[in-house]
């Protein structure tokens, strides 16, 4: 007999050689039917996995992250099998599970269309109904190459050939279909009942422009049809909110052929961006940050010291100046290190909170570019905080409170994840213990629940990530707090301690928005372009009924402009109904209609984007209401 410790801490004794599924059945048949995979001592395995020693066992359902991944990995195999049935000449590349779905890359001369996706999906549903058992088998490297060569799967042969000799290679078989795969998988195809193919796109083999362009078929799958329907409804809603479409309609930004991945912000987009930056500066001034600006281009020597030249070179834009190598900065941190070194520091200077709205450039593949969400140039709202080891906890709490205030201002909910020491880390056990404990204690003292990602930290230190949730349920990783034990060492940062000796400071990197541009994209989709008053590029639009009332309209505009309200007049010779409709399409928060009655009474007739007709109000009273709403950053 062997001992199985379950997630709730209970221990069961089972016969040595029992499978994971046997253990589940011994608990309950219902449980056995509902699980999709399991974790044995943290490793995700098939339900057929045989237990031969005492282990920790976590039975995974679809709602578990690793359960979803297994479910969708099997869905990708069903997709590949359907493709091979319908297109015999197709060569398979890779087919992983991804967030919210899966994809498979294929090499096929025939171009897959939207109509073809329906045909492939129908074949997938047939495979599901066939209830094909999914079985794993292993082969030595040479035999694995032979098997894939016989099937003309050139991409699989390439992948296997790169593995060391003597390696045992795993495959999964379902019916006539065999695929190279690490697994794990569902026991059979029958569970994948709710399935939908979404789109087809181009993707370079192994992500390199030097390689062949393949066709990537995207899909998603769920346990229940209702969950799939909800997800597809969310996608439809997301299409309506697409920031690229709204950005064009609202005149916020554009991407031009002469600058792929380099957004052009238009006047209204700059109003929005500048309002965000004003908010950012105000909140940081109150939290006792100083602001710096570091150069956009710095010498190769700096990037060699930081390690970017060797580890990040393919993402950097380099150039020569006076026969010397330079690079446009992809990150602000190395410049921040040089700012620290411009002066001598003592323990009395800490904590030093140094913020920078730094413009960074990173080379992204053209296929990965996506509006403001994935660009080649963006503004990072960075800060580097230098401190003593005993200040870690309080500084982390301060940053977490600041990020909380930022997200709550926009009405975002969020969750927090803490990532700890990875295998390839640098620094001593003592340093990591101090760092990780500082982060954990800070989160616990703030009563911030967090998900623990063991071993998922950066090699230079543990980190806290903030994942915000928008109004249609999507999550975006924006804020992050990273403790760094590497850069202070690489740049030989020191301070004079109480003992008169030199010591190395502790440093954290942190962002709240992350990328200002990406955050604008997220806000645009979250609000569907209906920005709250304080953020709106145009806050008030004055609509004169005819030219007779233009002088009064201009007088009202001037008064509001002087008060700092972003105001425009629609002075076109159009009917008032048309002007109202146009202002509504522009999603302006307030429309002021002015005609004879308004002129006589020094009033404006107010129409709210969100509340409809509000009636006639004295100009001064309206301005007072608007200024109060802007000051309070009201979110409706």
Catalytic residues: 333, 362, 380, 382, 384, 463, 509
For residue 612, what are the contacts with CB-CB under 8 A and spacing of at least 6? Answer: none
Residue 442 backbone phi and psi in degrees, to 5: -60, -45
CA distance 110 to 132: 28
CA distance 272 to 372: 14
Residue among 338, 530, 565, 559 at smallest CA distance from 329? 338
Strands (E), 527-611: 540-544, 567-569, 590-594, 603-608
CA distance 432 to 88: 54
**Secondary structure of residue 599 in the 3-state scheme:** helix
Would residue 217 be called left, alpha or beta, if left means φ above 0 and alpha means ψ between -120 and 50 degrees?
Answer: beta
Tokens encoding 184 = 């794990």
Is residue 56 within 8 Å of residue 83, measured between CB atoms?
no
Is residue 208 within 8 Å of residue 182, measured between CB atoms?
no
Is residue 442 within 8 Å of residue 400, measured between CB atoms?
yes
Residue 351: asked if its preceding bond is cis (omega within 30°), the reply is: yes
Rounded to the nearest angstrom, the gap between the alpha carbon of residue 217 and the centroid of all alpha carbons in its chain is: 21
Is residue 240 within 8 Å of residue 234, measured between CB atoms?
no
* Long-range CB pairs of 527-532, under 8 A, 24+ apart, other chains included: 527/471, 528/240, 528/241, 528/246, 529/241, 529/246, 529/249, 529/250, 529/587, 530/587, 530/609, 530/610, 531/272, 531/587, 531/589, 532/589, 532/633, 532/634, 532/635, 532/636
Tokens encoding 40 = 């044995």
Tokens encoding 515 = 């990328």
Tokens encoding 24 = 């589940």
CA distance 482 to 7: 30
């Amino acid at each position: 007999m062997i001992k199985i410790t379950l997630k709730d801490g209970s221990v069961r004794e089972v016969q040595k050689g029992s499978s994971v599924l046997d253990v589940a059945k011994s608990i309950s048949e219902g449980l056995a039917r509902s699980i999709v995979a399991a974790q044995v001592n943290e490793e995700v395995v098939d339900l057929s996995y045989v237990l031969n020693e005492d282990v920790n066992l976590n039975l995974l359902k679809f709602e578990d992250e690793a359960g979803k991944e297994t479910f969708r990995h099997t869905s990708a195999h069903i997709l590949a099998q359907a493709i091979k049935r319908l297109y015999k000449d197709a060569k398979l590349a890779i087919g992983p599970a991804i967030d919210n779905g899966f994809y498979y890359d294929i090499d096929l001369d025939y171009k897959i269309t939207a109509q073809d996706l329906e045909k492939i999906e129908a074949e997938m549903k047939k495979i599901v109904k066939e209830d094909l058992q999914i079985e794993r088998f292993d082969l030595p490297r040479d035999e694995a190459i032979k098997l894939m060569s016989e099937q003309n799967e050139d991409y699989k042969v390439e992948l296997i050939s790169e593995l060391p000799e003597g390696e045992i290679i795993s495959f999964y078989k379902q019916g006539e279909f065999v695929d190279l795969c690490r697994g794990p998988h569902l026991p059979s195809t029958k569970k994948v009942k709710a399935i939908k193919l979404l789109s087809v796109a181009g993707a370079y083999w192994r992500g390199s422009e030097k390689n062949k362009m393949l066709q990537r078929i995207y899909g998603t799958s769920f346990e229940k049809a209702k969950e799939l329907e909800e997800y597809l409804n969310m996608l439809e809603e997301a299409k309506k909110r697409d920031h690229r479409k709204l950005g064009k309609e609202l005149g916020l930004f554009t991407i031009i052929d002469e600058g792929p991945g380099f957004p052009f912000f238009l006047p209204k987009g700059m109003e929005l961006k500048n309002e965000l930056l004003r908010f950012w500066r105000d909140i940081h001034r109150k939290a006792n940050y100083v602001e710096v600006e570091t150069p956009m281009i710095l010498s190769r020597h700096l990037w060699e010291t930081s390690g970017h030249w060797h580890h990040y070179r393919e993402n950097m834009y380099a150039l020569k100046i006076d026969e010397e190598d330079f690079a446009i900065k992809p990150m602000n941190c190395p410049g921040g290190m040089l700012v620290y070194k411009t002066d001598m520091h003592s323990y009395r200077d800490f904590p030093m909170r140094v913020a920078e709205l730094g413009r960074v450039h990173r080379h992204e593949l053209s296929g990965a570019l996506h509006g403001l969400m994935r660009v080649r140039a963006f503004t990072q709202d960075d800060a580097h905080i230098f401190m003593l080891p005993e200040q870690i906890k309080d500084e982390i709490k301060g940053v977490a409170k600041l990020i909380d205030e930022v997200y709550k201002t926009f009405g975002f909910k969020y969750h927090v994840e803490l990532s700890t020491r990875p295998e390839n880390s640098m620094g001593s056990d003592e340093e990591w213990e101090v760092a990780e404990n500082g982060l954990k204690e800070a989160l616990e003292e703030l009563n911030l629940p967090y998900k623990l990602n063991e071993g998922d930290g950066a090699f230079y230190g543990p980190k806290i990530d903030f994942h915000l949730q928008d109004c249609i349920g999507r999550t975006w990783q924006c804020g992050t707090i990273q403790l760094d034990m590497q850069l202070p060492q690489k740049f030989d940062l020191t301070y004079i301690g109480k003992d008169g000796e030199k010591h190395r400071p502790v440093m954290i990197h942190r962002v709240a928005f992350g990328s200002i541009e990406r955050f604008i994209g997220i806000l645009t989709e979250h609000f569907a372009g209906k920005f709250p008053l304080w953020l709106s590029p145009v806050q008030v639009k004055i609509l004169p009924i005819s030219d007779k009332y233009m002088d009064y309209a201009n007088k009202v505009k001037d008064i509001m402009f002087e008060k700092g309200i972003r105001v425009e007049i629609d002075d076109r010779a159009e009917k008032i109904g048309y002007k109202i409709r146009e202002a509504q399409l522009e999603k302006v928060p307030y429309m002021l209609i002015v005609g004879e009655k308004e002129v006589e009474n020094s009033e404006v007739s107010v129409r709210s984007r969100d509340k409809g007709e509000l009636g006639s109000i004295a100009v001064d009273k309206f301005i007072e209401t608007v200024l109060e709403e802007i000051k309070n950053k009201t979110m409706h």
